Structure 1
Amino acid sequence: MRIVIPEERKLVHEMISPIRWGDMDAYGHVNNTIYFRYMEQARVDWISSLGYKVAPEGESVIMINAFCNFFKQLTYPGDILLKTFVGAIGRTSMDVFHTMTLRTEPDILAAEGGSTLVWVDMNTNRSVPWPEDILQKVRA
């Protein structure tokens, strides 16, 4: 099954991540599970750039699902360009998508994926509305 990223989305963040030797598996390419780590780091970097900590205290963001479509094998050495996009924004949830390309081949998609993020009160473990300042930054 392939999940399609919607065309209506907004670019909110970009970062470069190195491919590490330890990211490779016995087949000589980046292990599929590592792509989820790359997306995780992109989400953390983006949320931190908004001025929020990704930590289990007070209110924070949690991921409730994730997917990845693989198109091209990645190998060490190299640098990955990760782009983060926001799709649908709900009262307490937000769809976030990522594209991954080699920095040297920015037009050739290696993988794409996404997740649904929910803003949560960590004390009650219940979803709460997104802080208005995050919504303003995302929609700006």
Structure 2
Amino acid sequence: MKQPAIATQDHGPAGSQNATAPQAPATPEPAPNPALIRVPLSVRWRDLDAFNHVNNSKFLSYLEEARLRWMVTLPGHGMDDHVAPVVAAAHLNYRRPIEWPNELDVELFVERLGTTSLSIGHRIVGANDPGALYCDGNVVLVWIHRETGQPAALPEPVRSACSAG
């Protein structure tokens, strides 16, 4: 039995509705809030995928590294024997591929400071070309009681670090 033809439409790169040539990304706007930290990172050869650019999962690793480097600057690393942060959500906008070799800066800033959670905005930009925006978005951290898994109040050192500026 012959299958019916399925109509398809070429949406161009990244599923855009415009099949014309890709346009150069706009110059990124600066982060909306003062940076918590700006972490320089080098793209490693092992970060590449079969398309010769940084695999999308590595972006999360870059953000994790920046968060950890920020947290070690806090008294107690933002946790104690009773409370610790967990990642509740991650939102990444992949703006353009990262190629190798490359030097990056990962910028973190406070988007929202809650009672038990913190939304950390992020931007991954070129270290030698800050106009090259590779990724932006946010990660939501929730502090929980280690024993119960229930939400816990943000530790004072975290709240203070996020309110400074």
Q: Give TM class, smaller chain.
A: 0.7 to 0.9
RMSD: 1.9
Give the superposition deviation at 1:113: 2.2
Contact 2:38 2:106 survives alignment (8 Å)? yes
Q: TM-score, normalised by structure 2?
A: 0.75
Give the superposition deviation at 1:54: 7.4
CA distance in 2, matches of 1:77, 1:57: 41
Matched, 1:91 2:121: no
Q: TM-score, normalised by structure 1?
A: 0.87
Corresponding residue for residue 101 of structure 2 = 77
Structure-to-structure mapping, 1:7-18, within 5 angstroms:
8-18=32-42
Give the share of equivalent positions with the same residue, in percent. 25
CA distance in 2, matches of 1:122, 1:56: 9
Name structure 1 gaps, 5 residues minimum. Answer: 1-6
Equivalent AA in structure 1 for residue 148 of structure 2:
T
CA distance in 1, matches of 2:50, 2:81: 39
Matched, 1:43 2:70: no
Name structure 2 gaps, 5 residues minimum. Answer: 1-30
CA distance in 2, matches of 1:110, 1:80: 9
Corresponding residue for residue 46 of structure 2 = 22
Deviations 1:68-106 (A, max 9, x none): 111121111121100001111111011111101111111
Structure with the larger RCO, 1 or 2 (CA within 8 Å, 6+ apart) = 1
Equivalent AA in structure 2 for residue 96 of structure 1:
I
Max Rg structure: 2
